[in-house]
Amino acid sequence: MNKGGLRKKLLLSHLGVALSSLLIIFFLVNLVMSFSFGRYVKNQQKAEAGFLLTDLEQAYDPAHSWGMDTLMNISHQAMLRGYTIRLYDAEGKLVWDTGNMGMGMSAANQDAAASRYKIVKAGANIGTLEMQGNGEAEQAQNRDFLQMFNRLSWGALLLVLAGAYLYSRFMARGLSLPLVQIKRIAVKMREGNLTERVPLQMNRQTEIEEVGQALNYLADTLQQQEKLRKNLTADVAHELRTPLTTVQSYIEAFQDGIWEATPERLQICHAQIIRLVQLINDLEKLNAAENPMIQLRHERLLLNDVLRDSVHSVAGRPELDKVVLTLKDEKQIFINGDYERLVQVFVNVLNNALKYTKEGRIEVTLSEEPSEVQVTIADTGAGIAADELPYIFERFYRGEKSRSRKTGGAGIGLSIVKAIVEAHGGRVTVSSTLGSGSAFCVHLPK
Ligand code: ADP
């Protein structure tokens, strides 16, 4: 996987978000500063003008207007605060101008706007106060602040770059490591190694974990299919070889005159041929049942009859000496289906129950739910191991017990059951405990 690609994409997206936020903050602060700093300076000036106006009103003498000490005091204030102040009398004649005093106020920026305030005493206009801020000083302050802010912004920018780089590296590692692992295992699967699994952390349910889970599930299924495929060839070969070898050796012995073809020996050959025919029949039935074009007869039938016929079919089995087979079908239940094929279903399940129950009971129970009909065939036999349960309906799957018993079937019985029931729109479920028995339930739609 292209690890750099993921990291680059994450880096770009993190940088994009961080830089745009920084840029917005930068512009907003610059904007706010240029507005509010000007306003702040104006308010400040207004407040100071208020003090000066009070002083001027109080010190006003109608005969001599303002005395020298008042004017000097105003000049002092102006110098301290960095203003240029002009004082006009009621006729508008300039009385005092701190800008012409050679006290540095001439440096006042002529561009800075001057504010004029009327001086009023006892309702009469006694003059005008004009204040002009030292624009340069104000701007210098503003500039200083913005410069500092801009320097800090550059610092923040560098920090953001470094942070985004490190964070995206960290994130890319967190994301790509499990993906790389998943890819490694997928490649192994492609090469035929189905044994490895993606290690999963149970407490984390991320999308990547889910992909890992799905891949593990796929590997499990493929491994099982692979096993079945291998078993299938081996099973068919095995099933064919045993009877054929027996028949071959008998016939060769007859031909060579070693053995006489007694009725017993011919009977053994015949039984082997029957076994072969049975296997081929089973394969054909399975093929027919699994064929999607299967032609089922849809006739209205009494399920009780189907079950009774199925039980009769196995009635002659020798195992029934030690096994009690009972049918519980108090209620009459009709369904639509194919009589012959349904008998085949229940005979197969009953045959298995007999095969794997040495002694005990087998109970066939017919019951009805609002939407379906259920036939449960429960035995008190060997039971099925939990790890075998998911596979017993697979073609040619035979449990350990069936394998070790040479008399076991070919592992097709339940595949036929499943195919026929599904062709009827139903399903088969099974619950089993190893050592104490199994219950197969056939659910059929009403
Ligand atoms: P088989 O010919 O081996 O019986 P089936 O397809 O009929 O093949 O069954 C598949 C496997 O399911 C059997 O090999 C056996 O291990 C298990 N099985 C089926 N029915 C029962 C049962 N009633 N009790 C125990 N195991 C069973």
Nearest CA to ligand 1 atom 12: 392
Nearest CA to ligand 1 atom 15: 399
Tokens representing 164?
A: 């985004």
How distant, in Å, are the alpha carbons of 290, 338, 356, 413 from that of 344?
A: 14, 10, 18, 9
At 106 the pLDDT is 43
Q: In this structure, which amino acid lies at residue 149?
A: F
What is the Å distance from ligand 1's center to 399 Cα?
Answer: 6
At 137 the pLDDT is 67
By most ligand atoms within 8 Å of CB, the mutation choice from 282, 352, 395 for ligand 1 is: 352
Find where tokens 């952390």 sit.
Answer: 201
By most ligand atoms within 8 Å of CB, the mutation choice from 285, 398, 417 for ligand 1 is: 398
Tokens representing 43?
A: 């308010």
What is the Å distance from ligand 1's center to 34 Cα?
Answer: 87
At 104 the pLDDT is 41
Q: Which atom of ligand 1 is nearest to the CA of 412?
A: 6
At 110 the pLDDT is 52
Cα gap 336→313, rounded to integer Å: 22
At 253 the pLDDT is 94
Cα gap 75→99, rounded to integer Å: 9
At 38 the pLDDT is 73
Find where tokens 């045993």 sit.
Answer: 242
Reported in sequence order, the residue ranges of 255-346 that DSSP labels E, i.e. its strands, are 299-302, 323-328, 334-337
- How many residues can be counted in the chain? 446
How distant, in Å, are the alpha carbons of 48, 223, 277, 330 from that of 197?
A: 80, 12, 43, 51
At 264 the pLDDT is 93
Reported in sequence order, the residue ranges of 94-214 that DSSP labels E, i.e. its strands, are 94-97, 114-121, 124-133
Q: Checking DSSP bridges between strand 360-368 and strand 323-328, what pairing results, if any? A: parallel
Q: How many Cβ atoms sit within 10 Å of the Cβ of residue 303?
A: 23
Of 382, 355, 353, 408, the C-alpha closest to 364 is 353
C-alpha 397: how far from its chain's center?
A: 34
pLDDT along the chain (446 residues), means of 10: 69 86 85 78 83 87 82 84 85 84 46 79 88 72 78 86 87 84 92 88 78 91 78 74 89 93 92 86 76 75 96 89 93 93 94 92 95 96 92 81 58 87 93 94 95
Cα gap 167→278, rounded to integer Å: 69
At 324 the pLDDT is 95
